[in-house]
Amino acid sequence: MDEYMSAPRVWGLMCPGSREEVTRARRWTRDILSNHPCADDAELIVSELGSNALTHTTSGSPYGTFQLTLSLSPRTVAISVTDEGGHPEEPRSTEADPDDTHGRGLTIVMALARRLDITGSQHGRTVTAQLVAPEQAGVTTC
């Protein structure tokens, strides 16, 4: 049966455009990545990217959705969130004031990820963050 297993392994989750779905997406990510050294960082990235999709695009509209994809290879986790578009500008990191309650999400993702790619247009974008687990045994951070 191993000859039919692909590497990397890929999972997908379609989420309706409500805030509760970010919680479900985090839990789903945690279940898939249980015991993986990048699980905590991946869960935080899913939360930030999912929340951004709902806040800044039509994914957060009453009939909106966002798509979450996890790709897992032995040392790498790729997290992709695809939104429904509706915003003319590409997502970008901003410098939030200390009292701001928003504006740090993409900066957090960039700090955690080895690589960040943004593709698409105002008709829908995919933001992909790549995490790489450390090579040393016993290290529990990405």
pTM of the shown model: 0.84
Task: Please state, in angstroms and rounded to a whole number, the distance separating the CA atoms of residues 113 and 68.
Answer: 16
DSSP classification of residue 45: H
pLDDT of residue 1: 45
pLDDT of residue 88: 72
User: Virtual CA dihedral for 69, 24, 87, 40, nearest 10 degrees?
Assistant: -70
CB 58 within 8 A of CB 85: yes
Q: What is the pLDDT of residue 105?
A: 75
Average pLDDT over residues 23-49: 96
Lowest mean pLDDT among 31-35, 58-62, 94-98, 111-115: 94-98
Q: CA-to-CA distance for 42 and 27, rounded, in angstroms?
A: 11
